[in-house]
Amino acid sequence: DAGVIQSPRHEVTEMGQEVTLRCKPISGHDYLFWYRQTMMRGLELLIYFNNNVPIDDSGMPEDRFSAKMPNASFSTLKIQPSEPRDSAVYFCASRRVGFGTTGSPLHFGNGTRLTVT
Amino acid sequence: GIQVEQSPPDLILQEGANSTLRCNFSDSVNNLQWFHQNPWGQLINLFYIPSGTKQNGRLSATTVATERYSLLYISSSQTTDSGVYFCAPLYNDMRFGAGTRLTVKP
C-alpha cells in the first residue's frame, strides 16, 4: 500500500499562472477529498468525490478553483489564475466507505505547499 | 454537517506530563478519527474509533457517542508528541475542527 500520493511536494508560481495539483488515492478507496490548510482558516474541506463523481464543492473558494477525477486512480485540483492569497498547503485524502461495511480510516497524502508570488 | 469543537486550543507541557484533549460534537457520531499533524506537516492517523476505548502505547482514545464527545489521553508526554491534534467524525463530508496545538518542552 503506497498511500495517497500527491505531486508536486512544493510549487512556487507567479500570480496569474495556472497551477495544477495532482493526487493518486489508495487503490480501492471510493471517496477522495481535497483540503486546504492555512494558519488563518485551519483545515478546510474544498471538495469531495464519491466514485469519481463530485458530491460537494461548496468549499471551493472561487470559480478560479476547479477539481476533476477522471478515473478512480487520479484527481487534479486546478487554480487558474492563481493569486498570492491561494498560498497554502493543499492535502488530498481518501477512504473506503463502500456498502454495508464500517469502511476504512481517512488517509492523507503529504500535501503540496503552494506559494504564489 | 456536524460541528466539531476541540479544547484546549493550545497546550504546553513539560516532558513526562500527562494530558487530555477533548472533542465535542454537535450531534452523536458513529465513527471518529484522531490525527496528529507533526511539525513537518504530515497528518498521521492515530485512532479509528467507533465507540469505547482504544489504546496504542502511551496514547488512548475514548469516544462516548451518545454524549457527543471524545477524549485523547497522552501519558508520559515526549517532545515528539508536539504538533497539532485533530479529531474528525467519519461522515461522507470529513470536516475538521480547529485542532489542539500541543508543545512538549524538554
pLDDT in tens, A28-65: 999 999 999 999 889 999 999 999 999 999 999 989 99
Cis before A61? omega within 30: no
Chain A contact for B48, CB < 8 A? yes
What pLDDT does residue B16 have? 97
Q: Is the pLDDT of residue A3 over 90?
A: yes
What pLDDT does residue B52 have? 87
pLDDT band at B29 (very low <50, low <70, confident <90, very high): confident
Rounded to whole angstroms, how far apart are CA atoms A60 and B61? 32
B42/A45 touch (CB, cutoff 8 Å), yes or no = no
pLDDT in tens, B39-82: 999 999 999 987 789 999 999 999 987 889 999 999 999 999 99
**Least confident among A93-102, B11-20, B26-35:** A93-102
In degrees and rounded to multiples of 5, residue A22 shows phi and psi of -125, 150
**A44, A106, A107: best to mutate for the B interface, most B CBs within 10 A:** A106
pLDDT band at A97 (very low <50, low <70, confident <90, very high): confident
What pLDDT does residue B10 have? 97
Mean pLDDT, to the nearest integer, of A82-88? 97
Rounded to whole angstroms, how far apart are CA atoms A14 and A111? 20
Number of other CB atoms surrounding residue B33 within 10 Å: 21
Say if strands A19-24 and B32-37 run parallel, antiparallel, or are unpaired. Answer: unpaired
Chain B contact for A100, CB < 8 A? no
pLDDT band at A99 (very low <50, low <70, confident <90, very high): low
What pLDDT does residue B70 have? 93
Chain B contact for A42, CB < 8 A? yes
pLDDT band at B98 (very low <50, low <70, confident <90, very high): very high
Chain B contact for A25, CB < 8 A? no
- Contact A111/A89 with Cβ under 8 angstroms? yes
